[in-house]
Amino acid sequence: MIRVVVADDSALFRAVLKSALEADSEIQVVGRASNGDEAIEAVVRTEPDIVTMDVVMPGRGGEDAIKEIMKRRPTPIVVVSSLDRNAIVFRMLAAGALDVVAKPDGSQAAMAALVKKVKDLAQAKESIRSSRRAGSGPRPQPPLPSVPASPSPLPHAPVPASAPSAPARPKTPVEELFRSPAGKAAPAAGPAEHGPREAPGPARLVVIASSAGGPPALEKVLSRLPARFPVPVIVVQHIAVGFASGLAAWLGATSPNPVSVPHGDPLAPGSILVAPDDADVEVLSGRKIQLHRGGGAPGAAHPIADVTLRSAAAVYGEGLLAVILTGMGSDGASGAAAVKSRGGRVIVQDEASSAVYGMPRAARPFADAVLPLDEIAAEIVRFATRSGS
């Protein structure tokens, strides 16, 4: 049974959502809250599997409530919001919420999508192993220096096979929420942690894929790329319809490179394009992209990373760098396989720093490097600025 706390300032919406959730025999609403303080109390008292969190509520709002929950009892949280372009939604994700969905408009399909999201996130949860404060990991690092006019590879000392493992850094609560299912280890195939494989030539395109837990991970990576980054970047983040533009604006606030949602824009060096929330991005020759709307299986998360990765691999070959970050499911794995088959390179976020170790685990057998989140930006720069062999 999936135990849910519903937090929303509207009594009517709380009742409607409770009815919709409990129409599924696997879900029980164990608490309802009209503001942030009530949400915190309900989470501590009922110990739910997941929380649906409104944004603006009387007194303590959703953002502050999430921060307090992450201190006191870290719990998977999905933000339910109609504020699709408001930065507060993405601050809530940075505070510890794992995903955001649009507040249902009353249609059966919209409510069904919210119920599915609640079930997917709750069922991905294995255990919570800590109640450390959010942000207890390493302090943020400043952006990397600007890329020189004639770039050379960044130094990267390989870790000898016999070297002792570095002490694990403390995990933040959002990183503690999810583990690989049922104690299963990651596939044995693939590289050792911190051990990138060498490949000729610099990257000419970077594609970054992520899902649940992705926005704060993307913010950390993109904010550390240097200004005037020499190659284009495509970001494929699973996100609810209506939120891609807000995500791009939020990422752009800390990125030294321009971030936008494409409308047929060419792939220009230094541009960061966030895939639309209602379309899949196909990469074409001549630095072009094409947007495909309405594709994929019913209920599939969009945009689909495999579509972008497979098409980009066919065009860019060994000049493509794929990065697979935190997320549910296995989207990106077949795309990563295509990247490797064409001679490209793949970086995968490690389990310890992933909020949800689904997509990275699925792509790990194809990885050239499996790295903590804090090291991924530097590795992207290394691949993008290396000299050919």
pTM equals 0.80
Give pLDDT tens digits for 112-165.
Answer: 888 999 998 887 765 333 333 333 333 344 444 444 433 333 333 333 333 333
Q: What is the DSSP letter of 293?
A: E
pLDDT at position 297, please?
53
Give pLDDT tens digits for 239-297.
Answer: 988 899 999 999 999 999 999 999 877 899 999 999 999 899 999 999 999 999 865 55
- Angle made by CA atoms 17, 76, 130, in degrees to the nearest 5: 150
Instruction: Give the CATH number for residue 6.
Output: 3.40.50.2300
Q: Are 350 and 370 in contact (CB under 8 A)?
A: yes
What amino acid positions are annotated as catalytic residues?
Answer: 211, 238, 331
Q: Output the furthest CA–CA distance in the chain (Å, rounded).
A: 65
- Tokens 């997941």 correspond to 50
Strands 233-237 and 99-102: unpaired
Give pLDDT tens digits for 353-363.
Answer: 999 999 999 99
Domain count, the chain: 2
In a domain, 129, yes or no: no
pLDDT at position 202, please?
83
In a domain, 136, yes or no: no
In a domain, 140, yes or no: no
Average pLDDT, the chain: 82
Q: Cα Rg for the chain, rounded, in angstroms?
A: 20
H-run or E-run covering 52: strand 50-53
CA end-to-end span of the chain, whole Å?
A: 56
Helices (H) and strands (E) in the chain, counts: 12, 14
Count CB-CB contacts under 10 A for residue 266: 12
Q: Which of 105-109, 290-294, 375-379 has the lowest mean pLDDT?
A: 105-109
In a domain, 302, yes or no: yes
pLDDT at position 84, please?
66
In a domain, 165, yes or no: no
Question: Who contacts 205 (Cβ-Cβ below 8 Å, separation ≥6)?
Answer: 231, 232, 233, 234, 267, 283, 312, 316, 319, 320, 321
Give pLDDT tens digits for 197-251.
Answer: 444 568 899 999 999 999 999 999 999 999 999 999 999 999 988 899 999 999 9
> Omega of the bond prior to 303 within 30 degrees of 0, cis?
yes
228, 362: one domain: yes
pLDDT at position 151, please?
36
Give the structural domain span for 96.
Answer: 2-124
183, 75: one domain: no
In a domain, 354, yes or no: yes
Instruction: Give the CATH number for residue 327.
Output: 3.40.50.180
pLDDT at position 104, please?
86
Give pLDDT tens digits for 46-64.
Answer: 999 999 999 999 999 999 9
In a domain, 164, yes or no: no
> Last residue of a domain, which of 124, 146, 161?
124
240, 341: one domain: yes
Q: What is the DSSP letter of 282?
A: E
Phi and psi at 77, nearest 5°, equal -130, 135
In a domain, 144, yes or no: no
